[in-house]
Structure 1
């Protein structure tokens, strides 16, 4: 049935969460993100966390050893001044050696952690990209023709790479929490009230960061269609595929102006947020600095009055400064993490979209051979969001072993019938039977594997010539004999024979060394894919539009000869080709208007005869 973009359970796409509670609620995505990291590599994840735990304790240990060194130096100075004797430096050297070892260890650990982070991030990005491609492949064709879903897919793609850095940030914050806890314990032993002062100074900055991160996400969310348009304009304005027409029509000024207008609007929206963040951030930072120096002054005052040693002063002031920096970073990082979690929703919500066209349990195997054929029983279908029916009340049979041609003006429903036969869509009304059983009862993958279909808008793959043919049956891509046979059947062998590297030649100008083909040559390559499939049902949906009349006639004559004993569907505007079919189905406004052979339809003097006469008159 036609429907809107939907997630699992049929819920529509959520609006971007902007409330404080909703922003914090987005943190529920973090466990799912961590689970994905764990699945990526358990070994690297455990190693990363273990190294970070050790690294988290090094700062407070280094600072405490520094306090001991200062106290030892102070003791030595006082001892020497009082006694005038020889000083014992052994304890001081040991402390200096320990601090040196801690400094070297911290540096080495930092490098190893960065290495593990980068490896784990890359593995995560690669794995998630594969999962994204796999999930996209499972979705219905209807989903890819939905602009809203295209926006969601675009956001999901961006988050695959964009959220890789979140791993380092998330693990870094966990490390900082451990470091903070150790510093807090040290401060609590001396002056627990400093921690309270610290929190009062930093909470406003934390709330400000959360606010501006949410606003930034809202702009990114709302401007997704415009950002996709910018990507499209950037591609059209500087692409080998569009260069000829863009230059011929003088479109560059128009495309550049449109890009400039959109990009200026996006810049203005982002600038407002950036200016607000910088202004309020400066104010909040000043408040935090005042809090730090107020605490520093109090520690210095108590040291002067003998409550703390010089080493204690150094340890406490440095601990407070480090704790302030860590807490500031943690609160800021948490607000950023909440923002990152909003973006994670873009990725995970895409994974929650579920296809509706699926194989049923205990699915029927595809019948080999097909005995009765395909029967459309009062079939009706309209595309999502469309008021007009693409086809309705269709009743006809595609008999096993016959070649059926579909004829009609543009929009008559010819390609829709092909999509319904391939079960790229399911009917909204009626049903399609295969050998007397509903098409929906058959295994979906097996059904499509037994149908060889080439559409008018076939894909030009920037792969080797042999691989371009092999995509028709990709699991047989190493079968050179099969590839060459398919090329000979479609007359693509003549095209490939002229290429410098033959079947190993890279096609298209996208990659270095590639050779581009003419439209007709590309079409012969595409038709070879249908023969490569060797399916019992072959469908050619106007894939020869770029061929001249003689070449098209030759292709279809060979197609008719080579498809003997197979069921086939041909769509073409050329009646010299259509007349080779066993039967012709004439469509008009989504309905079957006439059915019969070429001779029968011409003799009937109906719509087919009229279209035939119009085309024939053009050749006189």
Structure 2
């Protein structure tokens, strides 16, 4: 967020949000903050009075016992308050981390629960990244704000106490002290804000350096780095980014030099005036040296409190901007109904309908689907085929409820799905999608998506997906770990094996609606044929939607839709569409000719 950009939430609203979060997750953080303020102020006052009081005892020619007692009292006070300060500093961090962790949990829940369109909106993705940055570490806003609040309250309390101590000082001198402190702060602040004003430039350099440090370590790039000899090129790119960052830092330090010059000049002016005034008062009024020392130290401390208030308030303002991003993300409006949505209709079978549906992705005017009317009857196996980019996956997105249509309605048993609790609607659907992910867990947990699973059902689903024999050959069977980011003994499945695993996962969920979006794209022809033979058993009693660009793979479906140019061009059974001699038949001929020619060439080579 830019410095002059207005935050949606005020400083007070953000501080209140943090206090409420701490009260729910770790109340002791609040009490420790107040204790730190009191102890810090007490320690400062002991440090302020110790030298003047000892000097005062010497001036009045106190006995050795009185002098020793004074030294012991102040020394004991120093030890006590320093020990308490150190103790509080030790115990405060775990609680502050707990509060930050509670906010991270809120952000994670929001990310997992938010409506699907939100996770693809560039503006929301940027907002989420900014919110996460505010929770990354101890020095970020979601945790450091407690230090800022504590320091601000300490400085305000110190300012009030010192203002009382200096009540008999000439008001003009106090105004001079306050003026030089405030003026020096704003001048130095403007200069030191140079990096903040150029933070986007700094972020570019940091991101580039981090990218070229992290990316080459990824397993996915290991083969390319070695085959193409990319290491020297990657080092060259990293060095280029580091040189750019070094030049940026040189420019920053040149700017900061002027802040030091201004600070020295104002300190000379302020201290010179204070010395002159206090020396004159001491000579004219006969002040003892102890009072001179106390007042001079108090004026210096008074200046530090003023600067501290301004510094900490400025820091609080910056951290409030970051916390505002957290609140904005947590309070994002949801386009879908969740808890408040209607319950699903009670039924054994479900019918899905497109009623005059059109759709364009957010931020685009191009319609991917244009006024489509379609009904998938209960228990029907529907195949949707077409060239890449025809809108097959978009149709899946709408049927699954990941997006709402731009125009028209998607109906479940005759009722608009927008009225339902969208999470309950998702529970009806088992799916295998083109873009899937696997967590580093055991194979069984990946299939069941829970640690409490039915082992027999997992084996049955692996068998239906054609992966049972492969899994049984592993030393730990279905208890084998997947991936190597968490477990050293984890395995990495091939693309085809991973796709079969995703199919087993969909079968385990056993939803009444089965959606398969290119589920065999990574399989070889024999494995693909095996899946097709089992497809009838997989879909028994289910409403199913099968998406493919391979026309021969859809023969087992009850009905085939051929879509192009955002609409349904042809529909019917495979044999009928081939006999019709239309676009479906033409594309089928092209694909089948490829396989025939490939087979002939392979035969000649043999």
- The TM-score, its normalising length taken from structure 2, stands at 0.89
- Whole-angstrom CA distance in 1 between matches of 2:170 and 2:161: 14
For 2:418, the equivalent position in structure 1 comes to: 440
Query: Could you tell me which of 122, 128, 151 is aligned with 2:103?
Result: 128
1:543–1:35 CA distance, 2 compared to 1 (3 A): same
Q: Residue 184 in 1 paired to residue 160 in 2?
A: no
- Whole-angstrom CA distance in 2 between matches of 1:29 and 1:572: 50
Query: Could you tell me which of 384, 395, 413 is aligned with 1:417?
Result: 395
Q: Root-mean-square deviation (CA), in Å?
A: 3.0
Query: Could you tell me which of 568, 574, 582 is aligned with 2:550?
Result: 574
- Whole-angstrom CA distance in 2 between matches of 1:91 and 1:273: 54
1:193–1:492 CA distance, 2 compared to 1 (3 A): farther
Query: Could you tell me which of 412, 425, 447 is aligned with 1:469?
Result: 447
Gapped regions of structure 2 (runs ≥ 5): 597-606
1:208–1:499 CA distance, 2 compared to 1 (3 A): farther
Query: Are 1:292 and 1:324, in contact at CA under 8 Å, matched by a contact in 2?
Result: no
For 1:619, the equivalent position in structure 2 comes to: 595
- 1:26-53 per-residue CA deviation (whole Å, 9 max, x = no partner) reads 6764443444344432233123313422
Query: Are 1:523 and 1:544, in contact at CA under 8 Å, matched by a contact in 2?
Result: yes
SS of the residue 1:539 aligns to: strand
Query: Could you tell me which of 532, 554, 558 is aligned with 1:556?
Result: 532
- 1:60-84 per-residue CA deviation (whole Å, 9 max, x = no partner) reads 144224422221122227xxxxxxx
Query: Are 2:19 and 2:30, in contact at CA under 8 Å, matched by a contact in 1?
Result: no
Aligned residues: 591
For 1:18, the equivalent position in structure 2 comes to: 4
- 1:484-536 per-residue CA deviation (whole Å, 9 max, x = no partner) reads 33323323333332334333333223234132221112222211110121100
Query: Could you tell me which of 349, 357, 364 is aligned with 2:328?
Result: 349
For 1:70, the equivalent position in structure 2 comes to: 55
1:202–1:510 CA distance, 2 compared to 1 (3 A): same
Query: Are 1:180 and 1:323, in contact at CA under 8 Å, matched by a contact in 2?
Result: yes
Q: Residue 375 in 1 paired to residue 360 in 2?
A: no
For 2:481, the equivalent position in structure 1 comes to: 506
- Whole-angstrom CA distance in 2 between matches of 1:310 and 1:420: 84
- 1:416-447 per-residue CA deviation (whole Å, 9 max, x = no partner) reads 11111111100011111111111112221110
For 2:370, the equivalent position in structure 1 comes to: 392
Q: Residue 428 in 1 paired to residue 406 in 2?
A: yes
For 1:340, the equivalent position in structure 2 comes to: 319
For 2:259, the equivalent position in structure 1 comes to: 280
* Alpha-carbon offset, residue 543 of structure 1: 2.9
1:478–1:43 CA distance, 2 compared to 1 (3 A): farther
- Whole-angstrom CA distance in 2 between matches of 1:89 and 1:243: 78
1:65–1:460 CA distance, 2 compared to 1 (3 A): same
For 2:66, the equivalent position in structure 1 comes to: 91
For 2:186, the equivalent position in structure 1 comes to: 207
Q: Residue 530 in 1 paired to residue 509 in 2?
A: no
For 2:604, the equivalent position in structure 1 comes to: none
* Alpha-carbon offset, residue 609 of structure 1: 1.3
SS of the residue 1:404 aligns to: strand
- Whole-angstrom CA distance in 2 between matches of 1:500 and 1:25: 58
Gapped regions of structure 1 (runs ≥ 5): 1-14, 78-87
- Whole-angstrom CA distance in 2 between matches of 1:155 and 1:250: 36
- 1:178-217 per-residue CA deviation (whole Å, 9 max, x = no partner) reads 1232222212245554432221111123223553576644
Name whichever of 205-214 and 191-200 sits farther off: 205-214
1:531–1:22 CA distance, 2 compared to 1 (3 A): closer
- Whole-angstrom CA distance in 2 between matches of 1:528 and 1:280: 65
- The TM-score, its normalising length taken from structure 1, stands at 0.87
For 1:60, the equivalent position in structure 2 comes to: 45
* Alpha-carbon offset, residue 577 of structure 1: 2.5
For 2:573, the equivalent position in structure 1 comes to: 597
1:571–1:71 CA distance, 2 compared to 1 (3 A): same
Query: Could you tell me which of 26, 35, 47 is aligned with 1:50?
Result: 35
Alignment of 1:104-143 (within 5 A): 104-143=79-118
* Alpha-carbon offset, residue 219 of structure 1: 3.6
For 1:41, the equivalent position in structure 2 comes to: 26
Query: Are 2:39 and 2:81, in contact at CA under 8 Å, matched by a contact in 1?
Result: no
- Whole-angstrom CA distance in 2 between matches of 1:144 and 1:251: 33
Alignment of 1:452-463 (within 5 A): 452-463=430-441
For 2:601, the equivalent position in structure 1 comes to: none
For 1:4, the equivalent position in structure 2 comes to: none
- Whole-angstrom CA distance in 2 between matches of 1:216 and 1:137: 35
